[in-house]
Amino acid sequence: MTIRYDGRVAIVTGAGGGLGREYALELARRGAKVVVNDLGGARDGSGHSDAAAAVVAEIAAMGGEAIANSGSVTDPPAMEAMVAEARDRFGGVHILINNAGVLRDKSFAKMSHEDFAFVVQVHLIGSAICTKAVWDLMRDQQYGRILMTASSTGLFGNFGQANYGAAKLGLAGLTKTLYLEGAKYNVRVNTLAPTAGTRMTEDIFPAEAFAAFSPDKVVPAALFLVSEDAPTNMIVGAGAGVFQASYITLTPGVRLQGEALSPEGIAANWSAIIDRTGEIVPQSGNEQAQAIFRKLG
């Protein structure tokens, strides 16, 4: 069955180029009305351009409906105004893809406080601001699909990207609470960790890899994760047509008592503590506490 978005309204941030542009175009091809948000800045967040308007023109040329928005995801009133415009123009907002981002890569030793804070502000705080702007509307509609954009850097680390990694793992954590709070309102929240050849990665990937990891090969995962039958609380990796699921797991652990309840006891039992036999994938933080209680019985 073909996945369509007729009657749905989608906001895609950072949609003036790269992955965001591809998401916006494909959503429009499949029937969605799209708000194309992009500040139009450089990779480090500086400057402005009319990138969003150009994507809107592409959508209009294919017979779709879209509006451009150049507000910053770090500006709550601007994002609230964007959502209000989408609601007034199209009747609601059903899909939000938090894609906007910047890079200011340096080793942690050389990274300024400003560069750390700015990257976290755009990726993590910006995504929270955009999500907050649509949250009540989606709850009232009893329908919402929200996608956070994480990264392998956030999940597994990458040299020179402490600011980016901290923000990206934070987004996975944000997903894990919002999926719980949105469940009874049919608001599903997922995390995508894409690997793609875009303006953000053009000086990182070799030429062949840059072509193999074209943004269009990530699009299927993003669109599935904001579809009507999407799962919720998933972390999905995507790149070059390969799709993966990533999980945060918990080992059964070991209960220590008496003299063993000490740093020395931890050292002596370390291999058992990290033994992954029987590990679980908790669906809420409470499940960790429950696992501890079971050890006390």
Q: Where are the domains of the chain?
A: 9-246, 258-296
Catalytic-residue membership of 143? no
Secondary structure of the chain in the HEC alphabet? CCCCCCCCEEEEECCCCHHHHHHHHHHHHCCCEEEEECCCCCCCCCCCCCHHHHHHHHHHHCCCCEEEECCCCCCHHHHHHHHHHHHHHHCCCCEEEECCCCCCCECHHHCCHHHHHHHHHHHHHHHHHHHHHHHHHHHHHCCEEEEEECCHHHHHCCCCEHHHHHHHHHHHHHHHHHHHHHHHHCEEEEEEEECCCCCCCCCCCCHHHHHHCCHHHCHHHHHHHCCCCCCCCCEEEEECCEEEEECCCECCCCCCCHHHCCHHHHHHCHHHHCCCCCCECCCCCHHHHHHHHHHHC
* Range 9-246 has CATH code 3.40.50.10860: no
The answer to whether the pTM exceeds 0.85 is yes
Catalytic residue among 5, 23, 143, 164: 164
Cα–Cα nearest to 148, from 157, 129, 156, 158: 129
Per-residue pLDDT of the chain (297 residues), as tens digits, is 999 999 999 999 999 999 999 999 999 999 999 999 999 755 555 544 589 999 999 999 999 999 999 999 999 999 999 999 999 999 999 999 999 999 999 999 999 999 999 999 999 999 999 999 999 999 999 999 999 999 999 999 999 999 999 999 999 999 999 999 999 999 999 999 999 865 555 555 566 666 788 999 999 999 999 999 999 999 999 999 999 999 999 999 999 999 999 999 999 999 999 999 999 999 999 999 999 999 997
